[in-house]
């Protein structure tokens, strides 16, 4: 029971941080406070799982080497999900209000093509890896302690993964139906990433699929705002 309580605390401390950050950043506007919240949240998401793992779980550091393979599975799933993303945009993209999205991105400079490109590289190379470190490695393993291994842990971690994305899409002005569809797709994607981690026990395997999907997502974003 004590171990489950610790797992729940870890999930709350780490899993809620992206949603809280999104809300606070939006409320703070486009100034230095918003940027500070963003940076502090990333630092929190990196440090808290690491400290928890080393100090509370008494774990040892590793590079999460993919010792069970999974590369072909990851690439295949990433390409498959990217095709679904592009098809969804082709079919439903006209219903998205481009001005609302532009208004949300303008305060942080993402209407500048060069800034958008740099942000894209950051999100694919750094942020996607950080999310796998947080949502797959740390939160999946804590979910396994709290609700059980396999499907329960996969579902819980995917639900946690989708929350801050849903909040962000609402802030960016997506209509409710588009947000709902996107959230369902994000839940499925998060579940697939979590399954990849559970199956292969390496953050690098779901990261490959995640990065491929992000290429499609940022391509869609570019088509909306430019």
- How many separate domains does the chain show? 1
Q: For all residues of the chain together, what is the average pLDDT? A: 89
Tokens (6 digits) for 20: 């809280």
Query: Is 21 contained in some domain?
Result: no
Query: Is 37 contained in some domain?
Result: no
Per the structure, the complete domain to which residue 127 belongs is given by 70-225
Query: Is 16 contained in some domain?
Result: no
Mean pLDDT over 171-188 rounds to 86
Query: Is 121 contained in some domain?
Result: yes
Query: Is 56 contained in some domain?
Result: no
Summarize pLDDT for 27-70 with one digit per residue, the tens. 666 668 888 888 999 999 999 999 999 999 999 999 988 989 99
Query: Is 131 contained in some domain?
Result: yes
What is the number of H-type helices and E-type strands within the chain? 11, 0
Tokens (6 digits) for 160: 């946690």
- pTM comes to 0.91
The residue with tokens 């993919």 is 66
Query: Is 50 contained in some domain?
Result: no
Query: Is 106 contained in some domain?
Result: yes
Q: Is the Cα dihedral 187, 193, 198, 199 positive or negative?
A: positive
Summarize pLDDT for 121-158 with one digit per residue, the tens. 999 999 999 999 999 999 999 999 999 999 999 999 99
């Amino acid at each position: 029971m004590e171990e489950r309580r610790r797992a729940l605390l870890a999930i709350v401390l780490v899993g809620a941080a992206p949603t809280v950050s999104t809300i606070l950043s939006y409320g703070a506007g486009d100034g230095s406070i918003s940027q500070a919240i963003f940076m502090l949240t990333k630092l929190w998401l990196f440090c808290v799982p690491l400290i928890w793992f080393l100090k509370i779980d008494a774990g040892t550091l590793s590079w999460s080497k993919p010792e069970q393979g999974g590369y072909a599975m990851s690439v295949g799933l990433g390409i498959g999900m990217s095709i679904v993303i592009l098809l969804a945009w082709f079919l439903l993209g006209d219903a998205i209000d481009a001005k609302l999205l532009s208004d949300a991105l303008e305060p942080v400079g993402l209407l500048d093509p060069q800034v958008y490109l740099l942000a894209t590289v950051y999100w694919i190379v750094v942020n996607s890896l950080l999310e796998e470190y947080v949502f797959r490695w740390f939160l999946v393993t804590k979910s396994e302690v709290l609700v059980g291994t396999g499907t329960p842990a996969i579902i819980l971690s995917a639900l946690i993964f989708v929350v801050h994305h849903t909040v962000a899409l609402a802030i960016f002005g997506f209509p409710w139906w588009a947000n709902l569809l996107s959230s369902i797709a994000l839940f499925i994607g998060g579940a697939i990433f979590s399954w990849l981690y559970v199956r292969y026990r390496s953050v690098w395997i779901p990261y490959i699929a995640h990065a491929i999907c992000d290429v499609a997502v940022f391509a869609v974003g570019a088509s909306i705002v430019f």
